[in-house]
Amino acid sequence: MKQKRRVAIQGVSGANHEIAAREFFRDYDVEVVPCLTFEDLFRRVREEDDLYGICAIENTLVGSIQSNYTLLKDSGLEVIGEYKLRIKHNLMVLPGVTIDEIREVHSHPMALAQCKAFFKDYPNIRLIESEDTALSAKEVAEKGQRDVAAIAPAIAADLYGLNILRAGIETNKKNFTRFLVVNESGTFDRDELLAQNRIDRASIVFTLSQSGEVGSLSKVLTVLAFYGINMTKIQSNPVVGHEWEYIFYVDLSFKNYTRYVQSISAVRPLCSSLRILGEYETGRQSDEN
């Protein structure tokens, strides 16, 4: 019998967050815990010891989700893993409905924007923004509206008894979202991964000792490069209440864990604050098809 994992997601069942959660914890019996907002997700994971969380952090088309970086930092939770999900948008309706009957399509603004090219051939259909892709599908099913369709993941059609009228209507087929898996303790298989030399990524956050000093950020990056640490992403956000000062979120990859630890020790004196958000294994990426 598989071990159980409770995983908090943003949105209702059938969302992309659920797909990513089930893929990351594919060897476990997953119980999804829907949360209305990301704030609610981080709060619940902090309060419930056995609860994991998964949250979108960046997308290949629209970039970083900056508010989630802030929530992650402020939560005190640790990143224990990642998963990169290929985003597929499907047009779904009540059984028996044809595309000629549709007058409105409801979905998250990002999903609608990524499918606009498809609807150029259907000028009579209005695109209506909603809170969530899966929630849009759920409401179509619950309200029984034959003239309303939803754009959502295929799993939502299965859950809510809808038919997929057109699959994969997104314009860009190279659309991936990166999700981070978070936990209160940060101990999920960590010792085992270290023993197997599988921890090869880290997420850190830091502020600089003297934000006005020329080349202060460059010095940090030079030290990391000296130790053979590859910076795969850097995201800067303003420090609230301190004009023109910034906090830096950085993702690192490395082949030698010991050299990574040494690099962190070397850059600490250059920073006014530095926190390791998590150390983990490079995550899988879903199939592009």
119 tagged catalytic: no
pLDDT higher for 246 or 70? 70
DSSP 44: H
Give yes or no for residue 239 having a pLDDT over 90.
Answer: no
DSSP letter assigned to residue 60 = T
For every residue of 195-215, DSSP letters joined together read HTT---EEEEEEEES-TTSTT
pLDDT at res. 214: 67
Two structure tokens written together for 174: 């190279």
What is the pLDDT confidence band of residue 197, given thresholds at 50, 70 and 90? confident
Tell which phi-psi region holds residue 215, choosing left (phi > 0), alpha (psi between -120 and 50) or beta. left
The whole-angstrom separation of Cα 179 and Cα 55 is 5
What is the tens place of the pLDDT at every residue in 30-45?
A: 999 999 899 999 999 9
* pLDDT class of 72 with cuts at 50, 70, 90: very high
Of residues 60, 55, 15, the one with CA closest to residue 203: 55
Residue for token pair 């949105």: 11
d(CA 128, CA 133): 11
70 assigned to active site: no
| pLDDT-derived band at 209, boundaries 50, 70, 90 | low
pLDDT tens digit string along 153-185?
999 999 999 999 999 999 998 899 999 999 987
Cα 103 to the center of its chain, rounded Å:
32
Residue 174 backbone phi and psi in degrees, to 5: -100, 45
Closest CA to 176 of 82, 21, 286, 22: 286
CB 105 within 8 A of CB 128: yes
110-154 pLDDT, tens per residue? 899 999 999 999 999 999 999 899 999 999 999 999 999 999 999
Q: How far apart, in Å, are the Cα atoms of 126 and each of 93, 112, 129, 160?
A: 15, 11, 10, 22
Catalytic residue among 25, 42, 133, 177: 177
Indicate the average pLDDT of the chain.
92
Both tokens of 12, joined, read: 């209702």
- From 38, 42, 119, 179, the catalytic residue: 179
Closest residue by Cα to residue 166 from 89, 69, 106, 228: 89
